[in-house]
Every structure is written in C-alpha cells, then in structure tokens.
C-alpha cells in the first residue's frame, strides 16, 4: 500500500470512528456529563421562568407564527435542533451506567443516600428528584434528615448569640438551615435514586449501547495526519480496542490504589502477596465482595465464634460493622485513629445549603492552590458518621456485639495460617493496637475502611499523558484550568474528587458532579463553536464592539460608539 493510499485509508477510518467526546467512567460523574452535553436548557444557566418558556417553545414553537413589532412582518418559526455529540463511554466494571455505584450500595446494604434531594444528576431541573418521587407515587421513600432544619433566628437573637449574652435553646440551636428549606433536606432511598438515574438515561437517550465494558490502559494526545486531515486527537487504548476522540472526560475515582495504615505486617513466606490488596483474609473497603467474607460466613453457619476487626473512622466503616453484626458475626472490634465525628453530611452545611456562596467565594478567591487544599481539608474534616449509623453502633455496643474505641491505631498484624488438614478453613490474625486493647482475641477477618486519598498519578492510563504533557499537583490533586481542562492546549477534562482544587470540597459528591458537568459542557460547547467559525466572517473592529456589547463585556457607555 502506497503512502497516499494509507493516508486515505486512515482518513476514512478517522471520519467513521472519531468521537466528539469519550467519557472514561460510567459512574455518577460520567452520567452527569453525558446528560448535560445533551441538555440545551440547563437549570444552572436559565431561570425557572426562562426554562418553562423554552420548554414550551420546544413543544409548540413550530406551530407559532412570529411577528416583528416594528415592521409587522410575519415569519414561521423554524426550530433549531442542537446537534448531538458523538459520545462513547468506557467503564471497567460493566456495560451499563452506575454499575459500580449500585453494586457498592448493594454490597454494603445501604438503604438511603447521604446527600439531600437537590443533589442529583439531572441538569434540567434542580427539583427533578423530588418531582420524580411525587410523579411515581414514591414519596414514602423520602426520609427527612432530622436535626438539620431549625427555627430561623431574628437579627436581635443573632446579635445576642454573637456577643455571648444569648442562650441556645432547643436541639436545633446550631442548625444553619431555616424552616423554609425543610423540603430540600430529605434523602432518597437507594432504589428511588437508581430509578431516577434510569429516568435521566432514558430522557437523554443514554441507555442504548453507549457504555462499553472496557478497561482504559493508555491515553495519548498527538497530531494525526491524513490527506485532508491534520488535527490533534486523543487515542484512547483499552484492553479490547483503540478509539479516537477530540475530547476526553476523565470521570473516575480519586485514586487507583487504596491506601492502608502504616503497621507491622507478618505473613508467612508461602503466603507472600503482590500488594496490600492481596492480603489473606483482609481487604480494603474499595474491594469488598461480600459482608462477611465467604470464609467468615462459613464459620458463622457452623455456629463458631467469629471476630472481625474494622479499621477506619468514616461512614463506610460503620456500615461494615453494622452489616457484619446483622449477618451473624459474633463480635466486631471497630477502631478509629481519631475522634468519632457525627454529622449529617461529610461537608459542613455552610458549604451545601442554598446560601453557600460566601464559602465558595472564599474558596475561589484563594490566592494559591495550597490555600484551597487547606480549605478542602478543613471543610471535610476527616471521616464522619451520620446520626443514624452512630445510633446503630451504640445499640450494638450496648448488646455486647461491638467494641468501639477512638484514638486507637493498628500497630502490628501477624497471620496465623491453618494447619495442613484444615487449609480450606482458613487462618486467623493476631493483632496489636496502640493503646493496647485488653484480651483482644484472634480475628477472622480485617476490613480496612481507610479511604482513598487523591493521587491522579496513580492511574496507569495517565502515565504517558503525564510525561508528554506535564501537570503540577497539590496534595495529589491536579492543578487544572478553571474549566477543568488538563491544560489549555490539552482538552482532557477531569471531574469528580480529582477536580477538587477547582470545584471545591464537594467535588466528589453528587452536587459537585453536576457543577463540574456544567463547566465541562460549557467549555466543550465553546470549543465546538470556535471550530466552526469561518475566517471570512471574523468580526471587524465594529463587529467586535457589538459582540462585546452583546456579551455584556466592558462599560455600558462604550455602546454609544456603536452606530
């Protein structure tokens, strides 16, 4: 094959196979981006009144005759259909949306979301989840967040409290949410949220054949030359294929590898492991398959005494302890290296309520990314439990099924393998803590619910991109552009917890996913419009002035010079 023929063949392949956008990850962040890319009237840009008007025009506009006010001329309305993006979604878990999310909720038997109702993935309507519950007759699946909403204080009461002269009265004296916002502070059940996500997929035609079950192994960005083609494209390599795209959106978790606490480990040589995830009779919460593990469940079924060790201070650790006890484990030892924090959300309410703008303004006006990282750490404040799960732990502790101790760390763990005749029955762990726990028995299994600190360099698929297009980071978080782009010249967008330095402390939550999707979609749309501008119709000096006036840039008095 000649060189020209090879270029023509490559051009034909690129024309057929180049995607506008490839989304890596089919979780909440990926779904939020895909939905927003297909929504022309997002709630974040248009007011409720404008939204209703555009929805009416979308449904009935073709039947309306428009009349100009001055000339009296009439013209038929031609509906402008926004061209759809050609999108592919790659996910390492399954070939459908939210597979890992739903599987994790099912594994941990989580009945309710932690996020309030306004935090969902529908870009069209802020009240979409609540409206969906009412339309489907499933309002019973909405559970009020107790102790979150309080009586609004008068300005005189606020002054007395600030001066220290006022007395706090009632259980909600510190509530930052007022009574008029009570409707927002309910949580949806797992099943209701899953149904709502399916509704979003159907509403934007995202359910049919869009998600591919493939693991991304490498991402490169380089020019591709063909006969009539000279464009920089992403080559996204997976374990099954290679796809080209103009834009890539990285919608993955904060870290490729889980992080374990620092402790002395003693494992027999014949049971040596390749990494912390391969420990015998132990695993990180990110890799849990069943609770309790099949080996422990077999001992429970044989009516043997079983003991589990749970290490961690977040909500996941409480969910593991509660579920293991409910499924028959004799006793769970739950240790935390810090205090037991109890709060409704993993963020303070000042970062989540409708009046969060002062906090966000403080974050976005920070001079350096280091200051922003400090604000993120201060806002999240480490792992925490919800009041509901804290109450469950107290009940298990009162029943003698749970030993819970704060300010305690795991110092050593020695695995005692089974004898040859009982190899299929597994071994035990002999552990030590600081401070020591009296009469600590052997453990059948250890769960590490120690979180996954952000580290974007840990992803194997980003190694070439990091070397070819270097990017700074602070605390494992990439220093992206304000539009969440890798660099101005590299249109790879990042959403989720890894976008924390630009979105804020809630980047890894559902609310942060929707905010990031808004920024990404606006920038992709701007890039698309920029690509279609003809050099022959570039604005003149007068046209540029009119454009600036239309965009609201500069002084309003500059419009006096436009004739």
Closest CA to 258 of 218, 278, 281, 285: 285
549 backbone dihedrals φ, ψ, rounded to 5°: -65, -40
Query: For the chain, what is the mean pLDDT?
Result: 81
From residue 478, give the alpha-carbon distance in Å to each of 193, 219, 294, 359.
30, 16, 39, 22
Distance of alpha carbon 88 from alpha carbon 25, whole angstroms: 10
From the number of C-beta atoms within 10 Å of its C-beta (0-12, 13-18, 19+), residue 499 rates as buried
527: pLDDT confidence band, cut at 50, 70 and 90?
A: confident
Position 201 scores a pLDDT of 93
Looking at 381-484, list the stretches that DSSP marks H as alpha helix, in order from N- to C-terminal side: 387-398, 463-468
531: pLDDT confidence band, cut at 50, 70 and 90?
A: low
535: pLDDT confidence band, cut at 50, 70 and 90?
A: very low
Distance of alpha carbon 456 from alpha carbon 458, whole angstroms: 5
Chain segment 472-521, per-residue pLDDT in tens: 999 999 999 999 999 999 999 999 999 999 998 989 899 899 999 999 99
Q: With a cut of 80, say whether residue 59 has pLDDT above it.
A: no
% of residues, the chain, pLDDT over 70:
72
Diameter of the chain by CA atoms? 97
- Residues 212, 90 contacting (CB under 8 angstroms): yes
Q: Do domains 1-65+81-97+206-256+453-532 and 264-346+382-448 have the same CATH topology?
A: yes
Look up the CATH number of domain 1-65+81-97+206-256+453-532. 3.50.50.60
Written as six digits, the tokens of 32 are 């939020």
Position 360 scores a pLDDT of 80
DSSP 3-state assignment of 57?
A: helix
81: pLDDT confidence band, cut at 50, 70 and 90?
A: very low
Of residues 502 and 225, more confidently modeled: 502
Q: With a cut of 70, say whether residue 299 has pLDDT above it.
A: yes
- Residues 461, 219 contacting (CB under 8 angstroms): yes
According to DSSP, residue 189 is labeled B
Position 275 scores a pLDDT of 41
Position 79 scores a pLDDT of 44
- Residues 432, 263 contacting (CB under 8 angstroms): no
DSSP 3-state assignment of 266?
A: strand
Position 60 scores a pLDDT of 54
Mean pLDDT over 337-358 rounds to 80
DSSP 526-550: HHHHHHT--GGG---HHHHHHHHHH
According to DSSP, residue 489 is labeled T
Gyration radius (Cα) of the chain, Å: 28
Chain segment 413-453, per-residue pLDDT in tens: 999 988 765 656 788 999 999 999 998 999 999 999 998 88
Q: Which residues face 55 on adjacent strands?
A: none
- The residue ranges of every structural domain in the chain are 1-65+81-97+206-256+453-532, 264-346+382-448, 533-563
pTM attached to this predicted model = 0.81
Position 404 scores a pLDDT of 95
Closest CA to 320 of 377, 276, 280, 282: 282
Chain segment 370-385, per-residue pLDDT in tens: 999 999 988 888 889 9
Chain segment 15-37, per-residue pLDDT in tens: 567 899 999 999 999 999 999 99
According to DSSP, residue 518 is labeled H
Q: Which residues face 403 on adjacent strands?
A: 333
Residue 155's CB is within 10 A of a number of other CB atoms, namely 7
Q: Please write down the long-range contacts of 478-486, taking CB distance under 8 Å and 24 or more positions apart.
A: 479/369, 482/519, 483/519, 483/520, 483/522, 483/523, 484/516, 484/519, 484/520, 484/523, 485/523
Domain 264-346+382-448 has CATH 3.50.50.60: yes
């Amino acid at each position: 094959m000649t060189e020209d023929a090879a270029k023509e063949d490559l051009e034909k392949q690129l024309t057929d196979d180049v995607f506008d956008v490839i989304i890596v990850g089919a979780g909440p962040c990926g779904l939020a981006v895909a939905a927003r890319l297909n929504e022309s009237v997002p709630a974040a840009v248009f007011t409720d009144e404008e939204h209703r008007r555009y929805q009416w025009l979308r449904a009935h506009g073709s039947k309306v005759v428009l009349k100009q006010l001055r000339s009296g001329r009439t013209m038929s309305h031609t509906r402008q259909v926004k061209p759809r993006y050609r999108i592919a979604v790659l996910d390492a878990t399954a070939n459908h949306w939210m597979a890992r999310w739903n599987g994790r909720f099912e594994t941990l038997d989580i009945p309710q979301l932690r996020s309030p109702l306004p935090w969902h993935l529908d870009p069209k309507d802020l009240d979409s989840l609540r409206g969906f519950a009412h339309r489907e007759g499933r309002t019973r699946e909405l559970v009020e967040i107790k102790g979150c909403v309080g009586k609004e204080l008068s300005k005189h009461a606020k002054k007395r409290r600030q001066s220290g002269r006022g007395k706090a009265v009632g259980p909600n004296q510190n509530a930052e949410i007022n009574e008029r916002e009570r409707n927002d502070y309910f949580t949806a059940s797992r099943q209701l949220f899953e149904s709502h996500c399916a509704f979003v997929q159907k509403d934007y035609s995202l359910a049919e054949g869009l998600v591919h079950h493939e693991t991304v192994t490498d991402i490169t960005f380089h020019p591709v030359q063909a006969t009539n083609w000279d464009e920089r494209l992403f080559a996204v390599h997976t374990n099954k294929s290679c796809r080209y795209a103009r834009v890539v959106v990285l919608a993955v978790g904060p870290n490729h590898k889980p992080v374990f606490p620092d402790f002395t480990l003693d494992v027999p040589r014949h049971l040596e492991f390749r990494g912390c995830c391969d420990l015998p009779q132990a695993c990180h919460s990110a890799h849990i398959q069943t609770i309790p593990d099949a080996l422990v469940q077999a001992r429970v079924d044989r009516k043997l005494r079983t003991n589990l060790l749970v290490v961690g201070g977040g909500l996941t650790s409480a969910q593991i302890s509660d579920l293991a006890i409910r499924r028959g484990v004799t006793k769970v030892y739950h240790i935390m290296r810090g205090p037991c924090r109890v709060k409704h959300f993993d963020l303070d309410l000042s970062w989540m309520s409708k009046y969060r703008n002062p906090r966000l303004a403080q974050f976005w006006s920070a001079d350096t990314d280091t200051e922003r990282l400090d604000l993120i750490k201060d806002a999240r404040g480490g792992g925490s439990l919800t009041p509901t799960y804290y109450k469950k732990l107290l009940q298990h502790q009162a029943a003698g099924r749970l030993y819970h101790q704060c300010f305690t760390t795991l110092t050593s763990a020695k695995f005692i393998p089974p004898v040859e005749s009982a190899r299929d029955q597994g071994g035990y762990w002999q552990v030590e803590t600081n401070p020591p726990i009296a009469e600590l028995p052997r453990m059948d299994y250890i769960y590490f619910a120690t979180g996954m600190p952000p580290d974007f360099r840990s992803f194997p698929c980003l190694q070439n991109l990091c070397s070819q297009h270097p990017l700074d980071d602070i605390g494992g978080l990439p220093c992206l552009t304000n539009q969440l782009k890798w660099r101005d010249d590299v249109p790879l967008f990042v959403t989720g917890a890894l976008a924390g330095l630009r979105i804020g402390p809630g980047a890894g939550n559902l609310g942060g996913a929707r905010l990031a999707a808004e920024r990404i979609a606006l920038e992709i749309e701007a890039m698309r419009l920029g690509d279609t501008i003809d050099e022959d119709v570039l604005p003149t000096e007068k046209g540029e002035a009119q454009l600036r006036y239309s965009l609201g840039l500069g002084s309003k008095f500059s419009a006096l010079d436009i004739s």
